[in-house]
Amino acid sequence: MAVYIRFSNKDTLVIKAPKKSPLVLRMVVLAFAVVCGVYICSICLSQTSPHTKAKFLDIQVFDRPCNTSSTEQWETPYVHYPKPETYSREECSCNPVRYFAILSTQRSGSGWFETLLNNHTNISSNGEIFSIKDRRSNISSIFKTMDKIYNLDWFSSASKNECSAAVGFKWMLNQGLMEHHEEIVEYFNRKGVSAIFLFRRNLLRRMISVVANSYDKDTRLLNGTHKSHVHSPLEAQILAKYKPTINATLLLPDLKQVEETTAKALEFFKSTRHIVLYYEDVITNHTKLKDVQEFLRLPYGDLKSRQVKIHSGPLSNQVENWDDIQKALKGTSYERFLHADYQI
């Protein structure tokens, strides 16, 4: 470093150091900062393993359990809280749902009975689901269909909303029910499905209805349209004009077959929770509808149907060969069908 010496007038020696360059100072500060940065980074890297993985907070969301304190212990297996895959039940997610199936035979009043149930605000009965053969082609197809219905993922004109309190369908005995009865009984008991049996006491009147309905499928009396059920007196009058001829020779074995099939169904499903109803009783005794609602554990409602009965007169006026039928049934256990009837 250079030193400058100057003599003053008073012979005093003054020594001054030259001014340092600002650029040098800046370079020193920068170098210090770089060294510090490298040191800090080296410490951080040395403390971090190359195999270290980022850990995230594992948060699991649990559904709040529904309050079942009001459910009696015996009915717990029959109370469900389904979670549909196609929509959310939202505020109704904790509304309990009962599963049911109407087990019946054709022309036994099941269509009319189902309209009564669907008149209830909280009931969805989805019709004759297994009338389509593909749905009952094997037991796996049957289970898959029922799972969809009871999970509230089945949509039909009878479907209510996410707040349905009872959901089911009607099932004819000749639609795979009897063939797979063991597997279906096990399913009903495992899933908590209640069975509602609906039959006719007067099997002769049912047979007349079956033959007349079969005739209308071919002839289509209502302007070229077949209707199994009608909603106006005029339509009912048109269909009732046809009087079928019953095969008197096959009458007894046919009645016996229906009676035996009904008895087998009751025997097969006796281990399930069930109720047995008869069409004639539901018509003449309106407390039967109250019994059904109590069976499903639902609030009572005054149920109505728009359906109009087709064959409402005396049996003797409903067939072409009444004398032959009388002769065939006289003296048999089925003679009672000639006289037992009901008024609407």
What SS3 state is found at 133?
helix
What is the reported pTM? Answer: 0.79
Locate the domains of the chain by residue range.
75-339
Cα separation, 237 vs 214, whole angstroms: 17
Q: Fold for 75-339, please state it.
A: Rossmann fold (3.40.50)
Each residue's pLDDT expressed in tens, for the chain with a length of 344 residues: 554 444 445 454 445 555 555 666 777 667 777 776 766 766 666 655 444 444 444 444 445 678 777 788 889 999 999 999 988 888 888 999 999 999 999 999 999 999 999 999 999 999 999 999 999 999 999 999 999 999 999 988 777 667 889 999 999 999 999 999 999 999 999 999 999 999 999 999 999 999 999 999 999 999 899 999 999 999 999 999 999 999 999 999 999 999 999 999 999 999 999 999 999 999 999 899 999 999 999 999 999 999 999 988 889 999 999 999 999 999 999 999 998 765 54
- How far apart CA 199 and CA 108 sit, in angstroms, is 6
Residue 84 to residue 316: CA distance in whole angstroms: 51
Helix H segments across the chain? Answer: 22-46, 110-118, 139-150, 181-191, 203-219, 233-240, 248-268, 279-284, 287-295, 322-329, 336-339
Whether the CB-CB separation of 97 and 166 falls below 8 Å is answered with: yes
Q: Do β-strands 123-128 and 98-104 pair in parallel, antiparallel, or remain unpaired?
A: unpaired
